[in-house]
């Protein structure tokens, strides 16, 4: 209590910082005696003080705070009213008596505020009180009550809201429709259908939306049939609501079979929305066209595609699904060929669609595209052939392995590895042996290593003794993905290859195998005569542990190459063993700048508190990377 009084006195300070701190302390102390003073601080001239007072009142909470802030809702200042509303909403159930008292206030605005607070807090105890307000003299109050009852979702509210559909004020009727849509009780469906038939404007739109929320699949067709005559006259209703109804009506298992006239009527509405609506409405209308499975809708889809500056991944996925739904499993529409011949921005989408349809009819079309499309589109062509998976599609991919474009060969190799598996191995090795581009060789090697078969392992091992240096390197590269003891034996033999590039690949693959028996062989690479080989070994040792590895790293601290020493320091820091602290301090003191920076980071990682004095010597080092690493290490070690 004494502390609370002290903080209350601080609220009178001329310093806003002191007033803010006082509010925070009173909130932390949950002092109910300070509530009146905190309410006064909501009028403070300093924004920070007002915010701190508001948070303190919310933290204290309870009925006393609720009663103290309720009068704020009568203020002329919108800022004060909003703070009062926010506090009442966040206090929780204890605020209910104070909120309920607002519903009897002589000021209609205060009553409406109370209703809105109940709607936001979902306070179900207020339902009975709200029923009485549905006949309030102020239509704004009645409208708020209707929406509030909907948000509370109590079934007992349905009769009250149905009565409100006859209110003299349109806005109240609109709100009652909204409330019924939120509750989603089927008792409201028939009255809503009547409104759809007899009312106009906003009420009809709201009734369609509410009916769409409420309607079961068997009801949805009824609603759509009632609207059909109006749609035929050119009326465009709420597109999302209509599409929701249509989706329910044609859901699998439904008995509804729309006739040609129904499809034509709603297609015309959707097509018009695709032409005239905003982007969101266009996409929803396209979904409606897909649900109708109207072939003429393809033109609307492609018109929409043409209107786009760019197509993001989600939109592309949606458009492919839409075209697949419209097209079905029948013959390919002629518009596909027309579009592909023109090379429009819809090409990629059509190619993806052909794959989704798994159409054998599409294989010759895709084959023709291989020599014409851009690289990013070529991936889709290969993916489509892979998805179709027919013998003809596989043949096209085999032919593509001989394509003059290296990227095409890469894409074909990957698709064949997935589609043909072991049967593709001989062809892939043949391509690999004749390939001239390194990136294609690497891709073919990598896809071969994904095929689990003895011929792959044997083929890779055979490459290790090829006269072609690049093929020996590919053999080593591929064996690193096979992952067994036999592969390790072949790699050990290849470690003596005269080519540094091959030896790099060998040691990298040994490290990738992750076989404990490989450790002694891997660390031999740190003694290689070629610096690049040693660096490759260093990079491959990340994540390895053990005394043999640590000893090899310690030896590498005196290597002639600065970057070998750098990586040795980094890896020893990752080991986390403090017995190397002195060695790393020596690197900090005597080595070049990059190694000094690595040493500082390693000491930080090791938690080497005794090294702080050494680190302090380099706070003014001319190299910014050294200074930064030292500053970070000292900050961490001093905590």
pLDDT at residue 48 in the model: 94
Confidence of residue 382 (pLDDT cuts 50, 70, 90): confident
pLDDT at residue 295 in the model: 92
- Across 10-24, 291-305, 332-346, 527-541, least confident range: 332-346
What is the tally of structural domains in the chain? 1
Mean pLDDT highest for which of 1-5, 317-321, 419-423?
A: 317-321
Check whether 436 has a pLDDT greater than 60: yes
The answer as to whether 66 is a domain residue is no
CATH code for the domain of 600: 1.25.10.10
DSSP codes joined into one string, 36-100: HHHHHHTT-SSHHHHHHHHHHHHHH-HHHHHHHHGGGGG-S-HHHHHHHHHHHHHH-GGGHHHHH
The mean per-residue pLDDT over the stretch 393-410 comes to: 88
Return the half-sphere exposure (C-beta side, CA atoms, 13 A cut-off) of residue 385.
34
The structure tokens listed for 401 are 């392995």
- Across 129-143, 205-219, 292-306, least confident range: 205-219
Q: SS3 for 602?
A: helix
Check whether 378 has a pLDDT greater than 90: no
The mean per-residue pLDDT over the stretch 406-420 comes to: 88
Q: Which residue has the higher pLDDT, 162 or 193?
A: 162
pLDDT in tens, 314-352: 999 999 999 999 998 888 999 998 888 887 778 889 999
The answer as to whether 316 is a domain residue is no
The mean per-residue pLDDT over the stretch 450-469 comes to: 93
Check whether 97 has a pLDDT greater than 90: yes
| pLDDT averaged over every residue in the chain | 91
Which residues constitute the domain of residue 570?
560-639
- Residue written as tokens 């005696």? 33
Share of the chain above pLDDT 70, in %: 99
The answer as to whether 633 is a domain residue is yes
Check whether 1 has a pLDDT greater than 70: no
pLDDT at residue 315 in the model: 94
The rounded distance, in Å, linking the Cα atoms of 509 and 515 is 11
Check whether 576 has a pLDDT greater than 90: no
Q: Which residue has the higher pLDDT, 195 or 108?
A: 108
- Cα Dmax for the chain: 99
The rounded distance, in Å, linking the Cα atoms of 506 and 503 is 5
Which candidate, 536, 514, 517, 512, places its Cα nearest to that of 525?
A: 536
Mean pLDDT highest for which of 22-31, 365-374, 510-519?
A: 22-31
The answer as to whether 601 is a domain residue is yes
The mean per-residue pLDDT over the stretch 237-244 comes to: 88
The answer as to whether 385 is a domain residue is no
Check whether 556 has a pLDDT greater than 80: yes
pLDDT in tens, 66-96: 999 999 999 999 999 999 999 999 998 999 9
The structure tokens listed for 410 are 């890469």
pLDDT at residue 216 in the model: 84
The rounded distance, in Å, linking the Cα atoms of 549 and 568 is 10
The mean per-residue pLDDT over the stretch 264-291 comes to: 94
The structure tokens listed for 75 are 């203020």
The answer as to whether 536 is a domain residue is no
Mean pLDDT highest for which of 241-245, 472-476, 513-517?
A: 472-476
Instruction: Report yes or no: 14 and 8 within 8 Å, Cβ to Cβ.
Output: no
The mean per-residue pLDDT over the stretch 105-131 comes to: 93
Which pTM was predicted? 0.65
Confidence of residue 140 (pLDDT cuts 50, 70, 90): very high
Which candidate, 223, 300, 216, 313, places its Cα nearest to that of 262?
A: 223
- Across 379-388, 594-603, 608-617, least confident range: 379-388
Check whether 635 has a pLDDT greater than 60: yes
The mean per-residue pLDDT over the stretch 516-541 comes to: 89
The answer as to whether 49 is a domain residue is no
pLDDT at residue 482 in the model: 81
Check whether 2 has a pLDDT greater than 60: no
Share of the chain above pLDDT 90, in %: 66
The answer as to whether 570 is a domain residue is yes
Which candidate, 110, 108, 128, 98, places its Cα nearest to that of 73?
A: 110
The rounded distance, in Å, linking the Cα atoms of 229 and 533 is 79
Mark out the alpha helices in 122-238 (DSSP H runs): 127-133, 139-152, 158-164, 170-183, 189-198, 201-214, 217-232
Which candidate, 379, 460, 450, 389, places its Cα nearest to that of 420?
A: 389
- Across 32-36, 51-55, 216-220, least confident range: 216-220
The rounded distance, in Å, linking the Cα atoms of 505 and 528 is 13
């Amino acid at each position: 209590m004494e502390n609370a009084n002290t903080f209350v006195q601080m609220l009178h300070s001329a310093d806003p910082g002191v007033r803010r701190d006082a509010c925070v302390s009173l909130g932390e102390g949950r002092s109910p005696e300070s509530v009146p003073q905190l309410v006064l601080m909501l009028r403070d001239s300093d924004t920070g003080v007002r915010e701190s007072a508001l948070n303190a009142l919310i933290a204290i909470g309870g009925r006393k705070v609720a009663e103290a802030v309720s009068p704020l809702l009568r203020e002329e200042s919108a800022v004060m009213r909003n703070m009062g509303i926010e506090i009442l909403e966040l206090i929780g159930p204890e605020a209910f008596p104070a909120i309920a008292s607002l519903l009897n206030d002589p000021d209609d605005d205060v009553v409406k505020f109370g209703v809105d607070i109940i709607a936001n807090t979902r306070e179900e105890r207020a339902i009975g009180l709200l029923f009485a307000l549905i006949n309030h003299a102020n239509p704004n109050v009645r409208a708020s009550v209707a929406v509030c009852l909907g948000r509370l979702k109590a079934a007992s509210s349905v009769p009250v809201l149905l009565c409100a559909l006859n209110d003299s004020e349109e806005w109240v009727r609109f709100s009652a429709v909204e409330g019924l849509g939120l509750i989603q009780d089927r008792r409201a469906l028939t009255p809503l259908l009547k409104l759809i038939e007899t009312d106009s404007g906003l009420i009809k739109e709201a009734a369609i939306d509410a009916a769409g929320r409420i309607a079961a699949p068997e009801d949805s067709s009824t609603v759509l049939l009632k609207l059909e005559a109006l749609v035929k006259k050119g009326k465009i209703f709420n597109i999302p609501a209509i599409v929701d109804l249509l989706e329910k009506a044609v859901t699998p298992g439904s008995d509804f079979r729309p006739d040609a006239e129904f499809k034509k009527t709603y297609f015309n509405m959707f097509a018009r929305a695709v032409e005239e609506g905003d982007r969101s409405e266009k996409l929803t209308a396209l979904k409606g066209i897909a649900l109708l499975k109207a072939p003429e809708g393809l033109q609307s889809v492609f018109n929409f595609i043409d209107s786009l500056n760019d197509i993001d991944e989600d939109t592309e996925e949606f458009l492919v699904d839409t075209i697949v739904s419209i097209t079905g499993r029948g013959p390919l529409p002629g518009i596909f060929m027309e579009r592909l011949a023109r090379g429009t921005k819809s090409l990629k989408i059509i190619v993806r669609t052909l794959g989704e349809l798994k159409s054998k009819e599409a294989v010759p079309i895709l084959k023709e595209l291989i020599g014409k499309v851009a690289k990013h589109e070529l991936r889709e062509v290969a993916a489509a052939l892979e998805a179709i998976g027919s013998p003809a599609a596989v043949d096209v991919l085999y032919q593509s392995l001989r394509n003059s474009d290296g990227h095409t060969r890469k894409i074909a190799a990957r698709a064949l590895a997935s589609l043909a598996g072991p049967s593709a191995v001989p062809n892939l090795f043949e391509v690999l042996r004749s390939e001239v581009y390194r990136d294609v060789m690497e891709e073919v090697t990598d896809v071969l290593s994904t095929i689990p078969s003895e011929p792959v392992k044997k083929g890779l091992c055979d490459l290790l003794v090829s006269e072609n240096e690049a093929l020996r390197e590919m053999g080593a590269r591929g064996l690193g993905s096979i992952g067994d003891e036999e592969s390790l034996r072949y790699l050990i033999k290849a470690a003596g290859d005269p080519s540094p590039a091959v030896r790099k690949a060998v040691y990298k693959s040994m490290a990738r195998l992750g076989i404990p028996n490989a450790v002694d062989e891997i660390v031999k690479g740190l003694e290689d005569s070629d610096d690049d080989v040693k660096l490759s070994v260093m990079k491959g040792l990340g994540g390895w542990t053990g005394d043999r590895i640590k000893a090899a790293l310690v030896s590498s601290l005196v290597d002639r190459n600065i970057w070998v020493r750098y990586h040795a320091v980094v890896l020893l820091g990752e080991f986390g063993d403090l017995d190397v602290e002195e060695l790393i301090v020596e690197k900090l003191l005597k080595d070049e700048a990059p190694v000094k920076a690595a040493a500082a980071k390693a000491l930080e990682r090791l938690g080497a508190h005794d090294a702080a004095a050494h680190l302090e010597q380099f706070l003014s080092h001319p190299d910014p990377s050294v200074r930064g690493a030292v500053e970070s290490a000292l900050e961490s070690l001093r905590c």
